[in-house]
Amino acid sequence: MPYKQRISSQSAHWRWVAGCALAGCLSAAALAQTASPESLKAEVIYRVLMFVTWPPERDAPEGGLQVCTVGESRTEGRMEGSLQALSGRPIRQLTVAVRRIARADQLAGCHLLYLPAPQPALRPMLAQASVLVVSDTAAMLDQGAMINLQVEDGRIVFDVELDAARRAGLVISTKLLRLARFVRHQTATP
- Average pLDDT per consecutive 10 residues, the chain (190 residues; last block may be shorter): 44 38 36 75 96 82 82 66 94 90 85 89 84 91 92 92 94 96 76
Q: What is the pTM of this model?
A: 0.76
Asked, for residue 56, whether it belongs to a domain, the answer is yes
pLDDT value, residue 3 = 41
* Half-sphere exposure in the Cβ direction for 116 (13 Å, CA): 18
**Pair 86, 2 in one domain:** no
Residue 12 confidence (pLDDT): 41
User: How high is the pLDDT of residue 189?
Assistant: 52
Please give the residue range of the domain that contains residue 18: 1-34
15 and 107 fall within a common domain: no
What's the pLDDT score for residue 130?
92
- Which CATH number does the domain housing residue 132 bear? 3.40.50.2300
| 173 and 83 share one domain | yes
Residues 158 and 151: their CA atoms lie apart, in Å, by 9
Of 46, 42, 47, nearest to 81 (Cα)? 42
Residues 41, 69 contacting (CB under 8 angstroms): no
In-domain check, residue 190: no
What number of other Cβ atoms are within 10 A of residue 127's Cβ?
11
Is residue 177 in some structural domain?
yes
